[in-house]
Structure 1
Amino acid sequence: MSDAFVARSLDEIRFWSRVMKEHALFLRLGFRCEDTQLIHEAQQFQAIFEDIERRSNEFPLSTDPHTIREFNTEVRNAAVHIWAFKRKVLGLILQCKLPGQNNFPLLVDHVSREANYFRNRLEELNSGRLEPLHDAIIDENIFFLKIMADHAKFIGHLLDPSERKLVEQAREFSNDFDTLMYQAIDLSSMRPQSQIIPLLSQFVDENRVSVKSLRDFKKTARDLIEECRIKSIIHPLLADHVFREAERFLFILDMFERSLSGMKVNKREILF
């Protein structure tokens, strides 16, 4: 179990520290030139999480669990601080104190939810109180389905309006994932009676189909943006960022499917 703890901790930190680093960059790019203090804070967070990402990749899986537990605490504190920064920015935007900046309120809320998720995951790992499988299946899906729905909305709004077909595809994905999210919320409200393997298995399978389609759409959009073949204001790194998060969700869904079928999950992979 100590090996699994180290593997799981490093996996989470390597993935989410890169996400946090990129969030800081995206927020910085959206601020106005005169928002020098916010730009400076974003740059600091970018550097902090870049350093965390670098250090996480230097730890071997044989690292003493005590060392990783201390590292988790350090990273958790950094996640708390970037969450607070994001919520501060959201408040300023909603109070119309940053007129002309280019960060959507929903995007700032979105990235703060991911910071909170990261913080909670590290707390769960250090406390050894991970959710039981059947609860994790529902809760992880609610979280990630909302994330995927948000991504579709962002893509639709950041594509040039003249890219009518792609904009319409993004809108369809947004509607699809909103529906899936509400289905997941309904399943959650029926707990614990809804937590039976046939229902959960169908739930995971249905979501996987839609996530694969969205993942492929994101990959196509990313490639087209990198090749300058479509019109948009989407940063190429943002296109890759949302693609990687869809890949992450698919990875988690695969782990759920294997766990529900009774298959063993390698300790190097995500464990629920």
Structure 2
Amino acid sequence: MSDAFVSRSLDEVRFWSRIMKEHSLFLRLGFRCEDTQLINEANQFYAIFEAIENRANSLQLDTDPQVIIRFNIEFHTAVSHIWAFKRKVLGLILTCQLPGANNFPLLVDHVSREANYFRNRLQELEPLPDAIIDENVFFLRIMADHAKFISHLLDPSERKLVDQANQFSHDFDQLLFQARDIESMRPQSQTVPILDQFLDQNRVSVKSLRDFKQTARDLIAACRIKSIIHPLLADHVFREAERFLFIIDMFEQHLTGTPVSPRDLEH
């Protein structure tokens, strides 16, 4: 149990500390030049999460669990602080105190939801049926948001890619509605056949979106399409789709006892 706790903690902190670090950068890039206080705060958070990421990468699986517990508390505190910063920024945007800034309100809400998700994840271990539904509700909304951001940040002249992004937005909105229907029907909906089909259906759609994001990321990196998407943001949303696929795969194994082939995550 101690080994599993250390392994899970390090995996979560390594992934999410990088995500929080990059959120700090994306927010900073969206502020106006005169927003020096907000820029400084974002830079401070970037440094905090970079240090946490580096420390997490230096820790080994044989680390004393008590050390990991203290590390998790430190990370939880940092995530709580960046969550508060993100909500403050959202309030400033919605009250028109940052006119001309380039952070969408939905994007700021999106990154704050991710911060809140992770700090809760460090504290809570749900029963498997609840976890399957709750994690999918969370990540399906994240994927739907990503599609919307991609659509709005591509140059309007990239009509085919914009259409594809809009279709993904619609598809994931529908999947999210379905997930919320299953959520409202529990515990009666928490049968193995229903949850297994739920995971299978979501996996197919997430793989398609993951592949689209990978293509967009590679085209942006090669300067082959027109957009205002930062290359790191393109890679960021790709990694989150990969993470969702990993979680679906993990749930499938725990639910049915049948390992999912790594080939299922390939193109």
* TM-score of the alignment, normalized to the shorter chain, above 0.5: yes
Q: 2:27 and 2:20 mapped to 1: Cα distance? A: 11
Does residue 133 (structure 1) correspond to residue 128 (structure 2)? The answer is: yes
Cα offset, 1:264, TM superposition: 7.6
Name the amino acid aligned to 2:101.
Q
Name the amino acid aligned to 1:187.
I
Secondary structure (helix, strand or coil) at the match of 1:97 reads: coil
CA deviation digits over 1:209-235, x for unaligned, max 9? 000000000000000000000000000
Secondary structure (helix, strand or coil) at the match of 1:233 reads: coil
Name the amino acid aligned to 1:63.
T
Cα offset, 1:36, TM superposition: 0.1
Identify the match of residue 175 of structure 1 among 170, 177, 182: 170
Does residue 14 (structure 1) correspond to residue 9 (structure 2)? The answer is: no
Secondary structure (helix, strand or coil) at the match of 2:165 reads: helix
Cα offset, 1:263, TM superposition: 4.5
Q: 1:51 and 1:190 mapped to 2: Cα distance? A: 43
Name the amino acid aligned to 2:116.
N
Root-mean-square deviation over aligned CA pairs: 0.9
Normalising to structure 1: TM-score of the pair? 0.95
Q: 1:217 and 1:116 mapped to 2: Cα distance? A: 27
Question: How much identity, in percent, do the aligned residues show?
Answer: 78
Identify the match of residue 216 of structure 2 among 221, 224, 245: 221
Cα offset, 1:253, TM superposition: 0.4
Cα offset, 1:100, TM superposition: 0.1
Name the amino acid aligned to 1:69.
I
Cα offset, 1:122, TM superposition: 1.4
Cα offset, 1:30, TM superposition: 0.2
Cα offset, 1:118, TM superposition: 1.1
Segments of 4+ moved more than 6 angstroms: none
Name the amino acid aligned to 1:66.
Q
Q: Would the aligned equivalents of 2:154 and 2:228 in 1 still touch at CA under 8 Å?
A: yes
Q: Would the aligned equivalents of 2:252 and 2:259 in 1 still touch at CA under 8 Å?
A: no
CA deviation digits over 1:131-168, x for unaligned, max 9? 01100000000000000000000000000000000000
The residue aligned with 1:122 is 122
CA deviation digits over 1:166-191, x for unaligned, max 9? 00000000000000001000000000
Higher relative contact order (CA 8 A, sep 6+): 1
Secondary structure (helix, strand or coil) at the match of 2:122 reads: helix
The residue aligned with 1:46 is 46
Q: 1:123 and 1:87 mapped to 2: Cα distance? A: 21
The residue aligned with 1:72 is 72
Cα offset, 1:250, TM superposition: 0.2
Q: 1:264 and 1:63 mapped to 2: Cα distance? A: 28
Name the amino acid aligned to 1:164.
R
Cα offset, 1:59, TM superposition: 0.6
Secondary structure (helix, strand or coil) at the match of 2:58 reads: coil
Name the amino acid aligned to 2:23.
H
Q: How does 1:141-220 map to 2 (within 5 A)?
A: 141-220=136-215
The residue aligned with 1:269 is none
Secondary structure (helix, strand or coil) at the match of 2:18 reads: helix
Q: 1:138 and 1:93 mapped to 2: Cα distance? A: 32
Cα offset, 1:194, TM superposition: 0.2
Q: 2:22 and 2:75 mapped to 1: Cα distance? A: 16
Cα offset, 1:243, TM superposition: 0.1
Name the amino acid aligned to 2:61.
L
Q: 2:117 and 2:82 mapped to 1: Cα distance? A: 12
Secondary structure (helix, strand or coil) at the match of 1:123 reads: coil
Cα offset, 1:261, TM superposition: 1.3
CA deviation digits over 1:52-107, x for unaligned, max 9? 00000111000011100000000000000000000000000000000000000000
Cα offset, 1:35, TM superposition: 0.1
Q: 1:151 and 1:263 mapped to 2: Cα distance? A: 31
The residue aligned with 1:268 is none
Q: 2:223 and 2:229 mapped to 1: Cα distance? A: 11
The residue aligned with 1:31 is 31
Name the amino acid aligned to 2:253.
R
Q: 1:256 and 1:118 mapped to 2: Cα distance? A: 18
Name the amino acid aligned to 1:190.
M
Name the amino acid aligned to 2:56.
S
Normalising to structure 2: TM-score of the pair? 0.96
Name the amino acid aligned to 2:238.
F
Q: 2:247 and 2:258 mapped to 1: Cα distance? A: 14
